[in-house]
Amino acid sequence: MWMPIDIRSPVPAYQQIKISVKEAIVTGRLKENDTLPSIREMAQEMKINPNTVARAYRDLEQEGIILPKQGIGNIVIVSPVIVRQSLIEELVGELSLTMTKLKKTGIQFQEFAKVVAKVWESI
């Protein structure tokens, strides 16, 4: 269900987890009142350190997306519409990092636009 962590990505693993959870909400795989896997379960499933998952869950809680309930787990408390906007903001941040790197290498905007169009069509 969860996207695998890309260890080559400049995006930290905890942010990748947040994006994966948000994508699951936006696409309907997770709904309001659904419970996320425990920190330990998620860490085992994704083959990462539990502290990384804990950080992602803390951030999601601070963003008002999940709520930890004693004895139950972390519950999704927000609608897909709200999560979609948050996800877009995070992805724009990632895109900005990539575009900055490309611009520093001397790639012109027109060339970048062609690459984006090609990638967009391939997915």
pLDDT at residue 44 in the model? 93
Separation CA 48–CA 17 (nearest Å): 10
Domains in the chain: how many in total? 1
In a domain, 71, yes or no: yes
pLDDT at residue 55 in the model? 98
Could you read off the pLDDT of 25-71 as tens digits, one per residue?
999 999 999 999 999 999 999 999 999 999 999 999 999 999 999 99
Taking Cα atoms as reference points, which of 23, 38, 27, 3 lies closest to residue 88? Answer: 23
pLDDT at residue 76 in the model? 96
pLDDT at residue 36 in the model? 96
In a domain, 4, yes or no: no
- Residues contacting 64, CB < 8 A, separation 6+: 77, 78
Q: How crowded is residue 57: how many other Cβ atoms within 10 Å of its Cβ? A: 23
Contact between 71 and 28 under an 8 Å Cβ cutoff? The reply is no
In a domain, 7, yes or no: no
Domain that holds residue 54: 13-122
pLDDT at residue 4 in the model? 85
Could you read off the pLDDT of 81-106 as tens digits, one per residue?
888 888 888 889 888 988 899 899 99
| CATH at 41 | 1.10.10.10
